Chains A and B, each alone.
Chain A
Amino acid sequence: MTVTAQAVRRDAVRAPRRRRARLGPPWLFAVPALLVYALVVLYPAFSGAGSAFTDWSGVGAQRSFVGLDNFQQLFHDDQALGALRNTLLLTVAIVVVQNGIGLLLALGVHTGIKSRMVLRVIFFAPVVVSPVMVSFLWKYVYNPAPDAGLNAALGAIGLGGLRQDWLGNPSIALWSVAFTVIWQCAGYSMVIFLAGLEGVPAELHESAMVDGAGTVARFRHITWPLLAPAVTINLMLSTVGGLTLFTQIIAMTNGGPGYATDTLSTVLYKQAFVFGKFGYSTAVALVLAIFVAAVSFIQIGYLRSRETTA
């Protein structure tokens, strides 16, 4: 009896192993994409990672192994540390404001107003425009001349005192870039929140209304908990987007004035292509990748734990 039970247990253990050893239909579907991903992303990433331990200039064959020198330099590099600070500030601003506005827009267009479909299209429209185009458009809007762009608009409504050198003043340039990103991406957050709102059962609201719950109470106790999956996705996407922000900065300020809008992404780009220090640049890229992955895992772990299913 004992022997039979052990044999059954062995079979039970072996059976899943055999199943794991063979790839069923779901894996077959994924094979082409995984293959392309491995060739285009994983192979270059891992083969390039070795450069982080060399002094390669990015061109030519000359390179020497320098161990962890590039990583030590990174933690004593004022420019990189300033860029880290800017990256974190930008990320916090983008995550909080973009998702706040996205949620408000979603709640607004989820009501019964007649123009809600048109408004949804309008709010989402900036998302489909190339970030480079948006950057050049906003560079024009941020023209520092008093009779141009945003400054002209402020003057026209009697707020001339608020005119600024939006991209040229080191104290506000970072926030000008952040505003542009938020303007473009709030519609994206809105769509994800909207999908979440569509999934909230109307009966819950109806029964709560019967029980006398007001708008705020229903949002707090019904909508917000059921939006948790959408919040998780939005926060994670905007965090990763903020931490790796590059296009808008290069197109609008090139990291300036001075180092005022440099982020880790622009620093690694400049180190590789302007300073000719590919090895050091790869070290910055590796640290950035590990940092983004760590933040994402912690964030998603926390947010998943508070998700509620309807």
Chain B
Amino acid sequence: MAFDRSVSRRRLLQLAGGATLAGALSACGGSNGSSASGGTLKVIGAGSQEAGLRKALDDFKKANSGFDFNLSFSPADQLQTALRAQLAAGNAPDLHAVYPGNGSAMSMAQLSKANLLTDLSSQSWTQKIPTGFKGAFQNDGKTFIFSPGTSVLGAIYNKKAFATAGVEVPTTWSELLSACDKLKKKGIVPIALGAQTPWVTQLIDYALVPGTVYAKTPDFDDKMIAGNASFADSGWADAMDKYLELQKKGFFNDNPNGTTYEQATSMVGTGKAAMAVQVSAVLQAFRQASPTPDDLGMFPFPATDAAADNWIPGGVVVGIGINVKSKHAEQAKKFVEYCGQPDVVNAWAEAVACVPLYSEGDAKVDPVLKPFLPYLKDNKAVPFMDQRWPNAEVQPTHFAVVQELLGGKTTVPAALKKMDEAYRKSA
């Protein structure tokens, strides 16, 4: 019977408006209620930092009875989307992963420019940030992130595979080619490349460019920013030619564009492949993939035949920042202050196989990283290139053009032209 009665449009709109208002009010009430009831710090970290961040949080909780946290992790590509969407919606976690420097949509520079990160400059540990790394932590002179140290990039190799082929660790480009040749003849894939995973595509370029670009032009980034240099007219072309030379000589696994990072990791871990160019932060994943983790080592990937020109890439690892809208900002600040203590920095760095940002006395460094330490000491380490790129478009363009190069769909000059075009776009 009730359905026989018709409703006027005005009445319907009144009902709709009332329902909407009720919904909105109840949503506001829910939000306030949840924030008042919970004192737990919500944290999202980068998957590569899990061991270090979890240990720091656990230790801080033990020392502070009123502190509690809700921790989750996300792989690099998901951080870009999930976290960015939360930041846009204003419901991001209190403490979250942030990439150092610039060059990515989730980088310190991009997020601090949008006023989304809490200024940490008043914390005492920020005074200890080495001068050369300040660009990774600071924007406009203010510190916005904490990171435990630097990760180096080189070749993670299987010592047994090298021994089987009777090759030594190469120190020049020619020695590298010779070693790859011997490994190939023994039926071992010289270099595992999982280029289907976008971020892996950049690593060989990153390993070669310090030698082909920065050893000769240390201020290359400044020249790029000033518009006085380009990728196309620099040693980047040499690096990409060498990348393709490795492919043409058959030193990669078959079908690198169809191979994932996980498959490449497994190939090195099991000795099917001899090495993979990677960051030290993922050493743990390679160890887990190997039945004999102690057989894995790491060496600087040589880019030239002049040993003095073989610099290494070494960049500040993904850090953490405090959401400027956090309702637990004081707790989060206290935790970050705690992370800045030298022993915590050391413990975190050791857990994720990176070189600590600073230390009191001798720092504990994973023995596998020792071949890289002289380069860091002699200032022959260059931050990961993307950390000084002006916008978030250059890096994904680099990923795409490398896949096109490996697929034979473009040339080195065309690839670098695309990167130059992406670089010149506004931030």
Interfacial residues, chain A to chain B (CB-CB below 8 A)? 21-25, 27-28, 31, 35, 38-39, 57-62, 142-146, 165-171, 253-260, 269-270, 273-278
Contact = CB atoms under 8 A, between A and B. Distances in A.
Interface of B: 3-4, 6-9, 12, 15-16, 19-20, 23, 77, 80-81, 84-85, 87-88, 105, 110-111, 113-116, 195-196, 198, 254-259, 263, 391-393, 396, 399-401, 403-404, 406-410
Which residue, B3, B80, B195, B407, has most C-beta atoms of chain A within 10 A?
B407
Contact of A257 (B6, B8, B87, B407): B407
A276 B254 contact: no
Nearest to A148: B263
Given A27-B7, A62-B114, A165-B254, 7 more contacts: A23-B12, A60-B113, A170-B407, A257-B257, A258-B410, A275-B391, A275-B396
A260 B409 contact: yes
| Binding site secondary structure of chain A | loop
Nearest to B107: A276
B396 A22 contact: no
Contact of A273 (B85, B258, B400, B407): B85
| Binding site secondary structure of chain B | helix
Which residue, A21, A143, A169, A274, has most C-beta atoms of chain B within 10 A?
A274
Contacts of A170: 257, 403-404, 407-409
B256 A60 contact: no
B110 A57 contact: yes
A57 B114 contact: yes
B254 A59 contact: no
A167 B114 CA distance: 37
15 contacts: A23-B8, A27-B12, A57-B105, A143-B258, A144-B258, A145-B255, A166-B258, A168-B257, A168-B407, A169-B258, A170-B257, A257-B404, A257-B409, A269-B81, A273-B80
Contacts of B85: 273
B257 A274 contact: no
Nearest to A23: B7
A274 B406 CA distance: 23
A291 to B, nearest CB: 24
B98 to A, nearest CB: 12
A165 B258 contact: yes
Contacts of A57: 105, 110, 114
Given A168-B257, A258-B407, A274 B105 contact: yes
A260 B407 contact: yes
Which residue, B6, B19, B80, has most C-beta atoms of chain A within 10 A?
B6
A269 B254 CA distance: 31
A294 B131 CA distance: 57
Those 5 A-B pairs whose CB atoms lie nearest each other, nearest first: A168-B258, A60-B114, A168-B257, A258-B404, A144-B258
A277 B77 CA distance: 17
Contacts of B392: 274-276
Contacts of B401: 258
Contacts of A254: 77, 198
B115 A61 contact: yes
A226 B114 CA distance: 59
